[in-house]
Amino acid sequence: MLPMPAGGRAPAPLPLTMRAVLILSFLLAATLSQKMFSGDQVLRIKAKDEKQLQLLRDLEDSEDLKVDFWHAPARPSLPVDMRVPFSNLKSVKNYLNSSGISYTIMIEDVQVLLDEERKGMTASRRLERSTSSFRYNSYHTLEEFSTGNKTRPAIWIDTGIHAREWITQATGVWTAMKIATDYGEEPVLTDVLNHMDIFLEVVTNPDGFAYTHSMNRLWRKNRAINPNSTCKGVDPNRNWRSGFGGAGSSNNPCSETYHGPFPHSEPEVASIANFIQKHKHFKVLISIHSYSQMLLYPYGYRKEPTHDNEELDNLARDAVEALSQVHGTEYVYGRTISTIYVANGITIDWAYEHDVKYSFTFELRDTGIYGFLLPASQIIPTAEETWPAILTIMKHARDNPY
């Protein structure tokens, strides 16, 4: 503490230069911490035909426009969502207009949503500190999560392999709580756990997730250093040795879907792959993403259905039905390639090809109001409705050993 000046007078105002330095360092601290998205918009486009889709794909290759696809161009029936930095809004909108591509504004100002999200996190953290209770209806940072382990028929669930899909890690934490509290109480889960082990990895992309908290909320990949490029990060969900490197992933380290230098080059992927292969008894793999409200099964990289297509399709239908009964949320389901898009090197294709028959990807809420910035008030409803769908898949695996 500083000694009080004699007479208790208020301290003299700081000299102007000192104040300037303080203001400057404050600004510097602000710019060094969080990337700002003030004025950035997310545009939603329904392309009319393949030609328009190609024009949109060309946008991704134009690195100076810095368009960030939240939903990449896939097929005319599916919307394309893209975040456009404020500084390039005019050019991108001109490009769309001159190409005859119509769009709507899905998010007017990305920063407004980010500010709300941050405000909610701060308030929730304060409350948790004062009540020493974890709040499931708020987004949290890395340090608050953990995992577990064992050897019987097993179920793998991962959330957060894409860093910015925060609803998934939050759903993962709630699911862990649900499993722990329902065991011994709820008969289906209790019976599943008496026969099988559940492995839940909540923060599957830890450095990417940390980066979404510290620097850039909308970061998707991990933070791998790419030799010979200034761009960082590999998409861990394009890095699996299953159709690795084909169309539906990129060989450009600056792309959001960069597949990495070789299959399983990324520790996030290699560690899961090694664990599953060593364990040898995984029957279920559920990899949770957002957003779109879809339940997907293999393949993403090849057109031919799997040998188990009918069974997987029926199971997906039952799971989606169970999900919709909770809050009325509608999901579509089907093979990745025909339901969403061609995707190579993805988790569930690899798992299926390594004898994990019941391999599914969830794309959680929503269908494109908030996209990756789903309000925290939707965490619990999302987790609640996802749970019976997960349980449906687990129960089916228990009843149909192979």
* Cβ contacts of 69-73, under 8 Å, gap ≥ 24: 69/256, 70/42, 70/291, 70/371, 70/372, 71/292, 71/368, 71/371, 72/257, 72/341, 73/47
Determine if 162 is a binding residue for Zn ion (CB under 5 A): yes
CA 220 to chain centre: 7
Quick check: 77 and 146 in contact, CB under 8 A? Answer: no
CB of 287 to Zn ion, least distance (A): 9
**Sign for the pseudo-dihedral over CA of 370, 173, 133, 126:** negative
CB of 187 to Zn ion, least distance (A): 33
For Zn ion, give the closer residue by CB, 213 or 289.
289
* Residue appearing with tokens 């001109």: 94
For Zn ion, give the closer residue by CB, 95 or 219.
219
Residue 91 tokens read as 């050019």
For Zn ion, give the closer residue by CB, 162 or 221.
162
CB of 183 to Zn ion, least distance (A): 29
Determine if 221 is a binding residue for Zn ion (CB under 5 A): no
CB of 162 to Zn ion, least distance (A): 3
Determine if 365 is a binding residue for Zn ion (CB under 5 A): no
Q: Quick one: which of 351, 352, 360 has its CA closest to 333? A: 360
For 70, phi then psi, to 5°, come to: -90, -25
The kind and range of the H/E element at 71 are strand 68-71
How far from 224 is each of 17, 220, 221, 265, CA to CA, in Å? 41, 12, 8, 10
Helices (H), 1-108: 16-33, 50-61, 89-98
For Zn ion, give the closer residue by CB, 52 or 175.
175
Please confirm, yes or no, whether 256 is among the known catalytic residues: no
Number of residues that bind Zn ion (CB under 5 A): 2
Q: Quick one: which of 191, 40, 22 has its CA closest to 111? A: 40
CB of 363 to Zn ion, least distance (A): 7
Diameter of the chain by CA atoms? 88
Q: What's the rounded Cα separation, in Å, for the pair 363 and 386?
A: 10
CB of 165 to Zn ion, least distance (A): 5
For Zn ion, give the closer residue by CB, 135 or 164.
164
Q: Candidates 155-163, 253-261, 267-275, 365-373 — which segment interacts with Zn ion by CB under 5 A?
A: 155-163
For Zn ion, give the closer residue by CB, 160 or 396.
160
Query: What character string, x for contact with Zn ion (CB under 5 A) and - otherwise, covers 264-293?
Result: -------------------------x----
Q: Which residue is catalytic, options 256, 266, 268, 363?
A: 363
Q: Candidates 122-130, 156-164, 205-213, 350-358 — which segment interacts with Zn ion by CB under 5 A?
A: 156-164
Residues that bind Zn ion (CB under 5 A): 162, 289
Q: Return the active site residues.
A: 363
